[in-house]
Structure 1
Amino acid sequence: MKIKYLIITIASLAFLFTGCNDLDTLPLGNDVTSKQKEETYMLNPERAEAGVNAIFAQFNQYMPNATALGASRHNDFGYPSVMLFTDANGIDVVSDDNGYNWTGNSLDFTDRVYTSNEAQIMWNNLYALIYTANNVIGPIDADTDDPQSQYYLAQGLAARAFSYFNLVQLYQFNYVGNQSKPAVPIITDENSDVAALEGAPRATVEEVYTLILNDISSAIGLLESAQEGGVTRADKRYFDLAVAYGLRARVNLTMQKWTEAAADATKAIAETSAVPTGLTEANKPAFMDISEKNWMWGIIISETDRVVTSGIVNWISHMGSFNYGYANFSGGKQINKALYNSISDTDVRKGWWTDADGVSANLTKEQQETIDSYGYDPYTQVKFAPYQNVMKNSTNANDIPLMRVEEMYLIKAEAEAMNGGGNSTLVDFVSTYRDPDYSFSSTDAAEIQEEVFRQRRIELWGEGLSWFDIMRLNKPVDRRGGGFPNATMVFNIPAGDPLLLWRIPQKEIIANPALNEEDNNPSAPTPTPVADI
């Protein structure tokens, strides 16, 4: 089955769409038109709703790649695996490469071997989202005037845009200067049948970004119409107008379309009901519940989800410091020491991590005793609270943030500065919500961009976004002075090094007739450790 081979081998995905694929043909092989399929959806709205729910169920999966890998992996749990791998590739989420740390291959970049489990998980998870999105998009007429159908179509288009936006940044360097370089195969609802038989080549960076912008812009228009028709999202797991604008703001920022990025971030702030946490709210562990007022979009986790009942095969098991999980035995996750030391003592976020003595001013006596009892190293994160704020909780049902309103202010600040707009948005945001004594006097665009990068590293730490900043800003992976406990993990990989790109998995090269070994990103040697600072 070629291209879809890797996706359809995921048992959960095949199960989710057993009831959807039968829309494609009528008895005797007659083709069903898009209009007929949409009418079927409208007559059976539960079918369309199930298709949309399948997209967001895909974000939270228990070992969805076990069949494809031929093994059970405790770092295989849907999109949060992507977050975990990319954060470990970077410079700010520090951890000890030991027997309990499931991100060791991403720490030392052996995940770039195209037979690695991580390479397969990364590719499968994002193309599985695309597959589910295509199954929602295909049956709905693009020109539908039914508000409910518009809403469903917008969910599919926005999810597809999100997935390709991740892929294009992982498999090729930043947009500007690389538009004609190969990115990833484009599989849509329109070409999936042909691709399944004939394969699909790597599209260019320009082609992928064109699809992304078309999809997310269409989703914005559809969500506006659906909203006017009285249809809105049920909860924050779904896209609404603000999240769609926020996603397009990310895309435009990455493309260095500063005017558009600033405008979209401004629209996202205006459309969302989310507001930043303030000085008296950000000074305690949180980031566990989608109801938190600064969350725009996230993954909702239920106590009955298999990732939760597994106990430890979930994101917070690896990331959390207060709850029961792998973090207790691996030594947890620390912040880059140099970055921590750059944070002002008057910034409430400094308490999101313990200090050199293992203490955080943000913690209650019980919370501090919990951290002490686990014996974590200095600079350990205490940003992410345990489920229901119960110390040493073994029920790891934390919701996972995918977009917070604070990010929109930082996108707006960077884009305005790069467009000649100065530093007022940056200074206003940080001084109002994070550090009352904050000041930043430079009006130089490049210097403001660098300061926004530092602020993003602090604000969005551990939320699966830092790697994409490294790639879009063409930064090196310089871990010197970061406090990495293993000398073998201290690297200074220059920007543009081929090693920074992920490689298409070997199984996909074999299964896709339109790809061969020469079409893959080049194999690069694992990095050589350097002397620490």
Structure 2
Amino acid sequence: MKTKYIFASFLFSSLAFVGCAEMDTFPEGSTITGEQKEEVGKMDPTKIEARVNAIFAQFNQYMPNTGALGRERHNDIGYPSVMLFTDANGNDVVSDDNGYNWTGSDLDFTDRSQTSLEGQIVWNDMYSIIYASNNVISGIDPASTSATDQYYLAQGLSARAFSYWVLAQLYQFNYKGNESKPCVPLITEENMEAAEKEGCARATVKDVYTKITSDLTEAIGLLEKAKVARKDKRYISLAVAYGLSARVYLTMHEYALAATAADDAIEAASAENIVPGGMTDINKPTFSNIEEKNWMWGIIVNETDGVVTSGIVNWPSHMGSFNYGYANYSGGKQINKSLYNSIPDVDPRKGWWLGSNLRSVNLTAAQQALMTDYGYGAYTQVKFAPYNNVLETATNANDIPLMRVEEMYLIKAEAEAMSGKDGKGTLEKFMQTYRYKEYTVSGGANVQDEVFLQRRIEFWGEGLNWFDLMRLNKGVDRRGGGYPNDNMIFNIASNDNILLWPIPEVEIQSNQALTNADQNTPGTTPEAVADN
């Protein structure tokens, strides 16, 4: 017999980690009903503000799933866990599968077991954001003329859309051609109470994307009316909402709409003084502070956060090269060797990694000496600076990028090319202005393929590459990538179900609307192939 619906039990638990229990209780400790929550929100706007803050608190968590997993995991850190897992699944973030590497299960796809801890982390983390978003949306009258209400409602709608966009590409193949296939349970403010009692079936891909696009359309309208300036870049501005729309439409292959949304995002970002990083901005380790001029949206990390005070249970610990953490012992993260070799020497981004000579022109003498002293190998990343640029720091309080404005230029170029406009010219102008002056798209090159190449370089390690592999039906081909473990060299077809995450077994057992028949069909366990 099915037990209590799992969304509620896990998600109430996750909210407890962010100290937001006051959202759902009176001072006396009695539970507030749904109707009472709405009334409290009207009387006390700080309650709604607390709910909004709870959304973004979910992105940065210290082992939020310990109770659900029955153990502590040092790769359990909120949304950056999803970034680490998916990057390791792909072709471009290379690492050694050793005792200090917490992404070993993602490298060999054993994370695709329906009982895997990584699978439970991904599911719980994304639905935690959805639950917190629904909690905001349910407490605000959509017809409210209050600018504050409109701004807060837009936060909930946009964050929910982002979460479903992520889930849709993890649990089903790309939108185009798969519209009628099962995706994920679609939980909104309208059915969340019923879902807790009765469960919720998987919605179709089309239904999920319909909700995503409608949420973002509504959020954009609200932000345009509200004209409320966000306190900082952890919140979603008009530029970010347009940026999310651009991502979604690109994923759906709605290229004309993607080009328009990207253009709108660039314009709105400019109004916030957000512009691409130039050649002298990126020719050094950076990407660690949300105040950098090219960041549109990110995760703000404070020195007092649990992930930081833990020392090693944080994103820089796993990803960084200059700071103290797991990377010091695991050998760090490397770029795909073939991808590195495709970058011209005049491109300052080539210095984001050590070359075959174990050096980078982007480094100071002290930075180079540290990389040498730690014995990092060829192609190791030096893209991400340590916190406050302090070498060997154990204070891993780096902010984490979720969206940079450079992405909007690349989306615009691809989408224009795919909808019959001059995407080539857009791409060349961007690259020549902000990356290197000699850049051109060769005569017979496919602009979409060229943008894909530039996205692989530009957003390496930022948790975006997996979504490109899925939307473009690329599969996973690690041949020639320089993987140190021969048994991790795969060539996985783009339609192999191993690319899809299974619904966690505990969700199948607890969700009354799901049975084993609703599980994704298991894929083929990858077998190593000969390297190039």
Structure 2 residue aligned with 1:442: 443
The alpha carbon displacement at 1:522 in A equals 1.1
CA distance in structure 2 between the partners assigned to 1:80 and 1:94 by the alignment? 17
Tell me what 1:488 maps to.
487
Corresponding residue number in structure 2 for 1:2: 5
Secondary structure class of the residue paired with 2:190 = coil
Q: Does residue 245 of structure 2 align to residue 242 of structure 1?
A: no
Which one-letter code corresponds to 2:60 in the other structure?
Answer: N
Q: Kindly indicate whether the alpha-carbon contact (under 8 Å) linking 1:119 and 1:505 is maintained by their aligned counterparts in 2.
A: yes
- Point out where structure 1 has 5 or more consecutive residues left out of the alignment: none
Rounded to whole Å, the distance in 2 between the matches of 1:396 and 1:31 is 39
Residue in 1 that maps onto 2:249: 252
Q: What letter corresponds to residue 60 of structure 1 in structure 2? A: N
Distance 1:134 1:29 in 2: 16
Q: Is the 8 A contact 2:15 2:21 kept in 1?
A: no
Q: Aligned in 2, Cα 1:116/1:197: closer, same or farther, shift over 3 Å?
A: same
1:296, CA displacement in angstroms?
A: 0.4
Unmatched 5+ stretches in structure 2: none
Task: List per-residue Cα deviations over 1:444-468 (Å, max 9, x = no partner).
Answer: 6xx1100100000000000000000
How far 1:532 moved relative to its partner?
0.5
Q: Work out the CA distance in 2 between the residues paired with 1:63 and 1:243.
A: 27
Do the aligned partners of 1:62 and 1:76 also contact (CA within 8 Å) in 2?
A: yes
Structure 1 residues 6, 468: closer, same or farther in 2, change over 3 A? Answer: farther
SS of match in other structure, 1:135 = helix
- Measure how far apart 1:42 and its partner are: 3.4
In 1, the alpha carbon distance for the partners of 2:456 and 2:519 equals 31
- Paired AA for residue 491 in structure 1: F
Counterpart position of 1:262: 259
Per the alignment, residue 271 of structure 1 pairs with: 268
Residues 345-402 of structure 1 show CA distances to partners (whole Å, capped at 9, x for unaligned) of 1101000001001100000101100111110110000000000001111100000000
Native 8 Å contact 2:11 2:127 kept in 1: no
Distance in structure 1 (CA, Å) of the matches to 2:50 and 2:212: 24
Q: What is the CA distance between 1:12 and its match in structure 2?
A: 4.2
**Cα 1:302–1:17, aligned 2, differ >3 Å: closer, same or farther?**
closer
Aligned to 1:333: 333
Cα deviations by residue, 1:232-270 (Å, 9 ceiling, x for unpaired): 210000000000000000000000111110000000000
Q: Distance in 1 between matches of 2:33 and 2:91?
A: 55
AA aligned opposite 1:419? S
Contact 2:69 2:120 in 1 (8 A): yes
2:367 matched to which residue of 1?
A: 367
**Displacement of 1:29:** 10
Quick one: which amino acid aligns to residue 192 of structure 2? S
What percentage of aligned pairs have identical amino acids? 61
What SS does structure 1 have at the residue aligned with 2:297? strand
- Within 5 Å, give how 1:64-463 maps onto structure 2: 64-227=64-227, 231-272=228-269, 273-422=273-422, 423-442=424-443, 447-463=446-462
> The residue matched to 2:180 in structure 1 has which SS?
coil
The residue type paired with residue 21 of structure 2 is: T
Mapped contact 1:87–1:466 kept (Cα < 8 A) = yes
Q: Please report how far the alpha carbon of residue 526 of structure 1 lies from its aligned counterpart in structure 2 after TM superposition.
A: 1.8
Distance 2:43 2:24 in 1: 17
SS at match of 1:99: coil
1:60 equivalent in structure 2: 60
CA change 1:465–1:31 in 2 (3 A) is closer
- One-letter amino acid of the structure 2 residue matched with residue 202 of structure 1: R
Deviation of the 1:420 alpha carbon: 1.4
Quote how far apart the aligned CAs of 1:22 are.
Answer: 4.9
Contact 1:265 1:411 (C-alpha < 8 Å) held by counterparts: yes
**2:23: which partner in 1?**
20
Residues in 2 aligned to 1:11 and 1:130: alpha-carbon distance in whole angstroms? 12
Distance in 2 (alpha carbons) for counterparts of 1:432 and 1:15 = 42
Matches of 2:494 and 2:7 in 1, distance apart? 33
- SS of residue matched to 1:203: strand
Cα separation, 2, equivalents of 1:40 and 1:223: 23
Distance 1:3 1:245 in 2: 33
Q: CA deviation at 1:8?
A: 3.2
Q: Indicate conservation of the 8 Å contact 1:37/1:139, yes or no.
A: yes
**d(CA) in 2 for partners of 1:6 and 1:340?**
45
What corresponds to 1:504 in structure 2? Answer: 503
Letter in 2 for 1:238: Y
Deviation at 1:40, TM superposition (A): 2.8
Aligned Cα root-mean-square deviation (Å): 1.6
Q: Distance in 1 between matches of 2:236 and 2:34?
A: 31
Read off the aligned partner of 1:267 and give its amino acid letter: D
Q: Which moved more, 1:420-429 or 1:242-251?
A: 420-429
- Note the C-alpha offset of 1:46: 1.2
Deviation for aligned residue 1:226: 0.9
Task: Output the CA distance in 2 between the equivalents of 1:396 and 1:14.
Answer: 20
How many angstroms apart in 1 are the aligned matches of 2:362 and 2:324? 21
Contact 1:8 1:14 in 2 (8 A): no
TM-score (norm 2): 0.96
Moved over 6 A (4+): 27-31
Deviation of 1:203 (Å): 0.1
Query: CA distance change for structure 1 residues 516 and 402 in 2, over 3 Å: closer, same or farther?
Result: same
1:95·1:484 contact (CA, 8 Å) conserved in 2? yes
| 1:76-114 superposed Cα distances (whole Å, 9 cap, x missing partner) | 000000000000000000000000000000000000001
SS of 2:358 mapped into structure 1: coil
CA distance in 2, matches of 1:233, 1:67: 34
